[in-house]
Amino acid sequence: MKLDIIRMTLGPMPNNVYLLGDHDSGRAVVIDPSFGGASVLVRAKAQGWNLGGIWLTHGHFDHIAGAGEIAQSTHPPLPVGLHPADLAWYTKDGGASQFGMSIPPLPEVTLAFEAGMRLGLDAGLPAVVEVRLAPGHSAGHVMFYVESLGALLCGDVIFRQGIGRTDLAGGDMGTLLESIRTQVFSLPDETRLLPGHGPETTVGFERENNPFL
């Protein structure tokens, strides 16, 4: 197995969209598809990867806007994973209307994430990711830890010298800080943090330099 992570920055906010793929099997998943789903499909094809699923760290609109287009690129549609505690956001278009925006119709969520779940890139493939539940930015926010790559796809939990906002429904500052302490800072210092916005960083750098922590 030869895993790789590719980052694309898409949409008006701008969002980091990730492809996690295996060059040996040719299978991949897309994580947090923002606006511009067609660009993700083009990039996956260029890598020689066939998508096996769509994984969402949480249900906010800027992280799910491309899910419909990507899901419908295969028949049957690609499975979509989300934690059940964020379904309230997802079923209301991720809150797009609160920001004067709209997103295309969304596919049905068919995979319920839970803490500690182990995921493969497609049905029948070995697990390569651990799901880590990290509420605080939203009630059902999860992160995806790829131990073999020393990488944590952390959504909007933590950024380079920043943390996720907590003023939206389901957000709570104390809960977010506890999530970071237990689910992020419990990892080795050299672990790469691949956030939903902005540049990547590491656990060690944020432990020493994040002003919120």
pLDDT at 200 over 90: yes
Whole-prediction pTM value? 0.97
User: What pLDDT score does 124 carry?
Assistant: 85
Q: Domain span at residue 143?
A: 3-209
Mean pLDDT for the chain overall: 96
Q: How many Cβ atoms are within 10 Å of 109's Cβ, its own excluded?
A: 22
pLDDT band for position 123 (cuts 50, 70, 90): confident
Report d(CA 53, CA 79) in Å as an integer. Answer: 5
* Distance (Å, whole) CA 60 – CA 141: 10
Helix/strand/coil for 201: strand
CA distance 10 to 61: 13
What's the structural domain count of the chain?
Answer: 1
- The pLDDT tens digits for 16-37 are 999 999 999 999 999 999 999 9
Q: Which CATH number is 109's domain given?
A: 3.60.15.10
pLDDT of residue 176: 98
pLDDT tens sequence across 27-85? 999 999 999 999 999 999 999 999 999 999 999 999 999 999 999 999 899 999 999 99
Place of tokens 């990711």: 129
pLDDT class of 174 with cuts at 50, 70, 90: very high
φ, ψ for residue 41, nearest 5 deg: -65, -40
DSSP state of 148: G
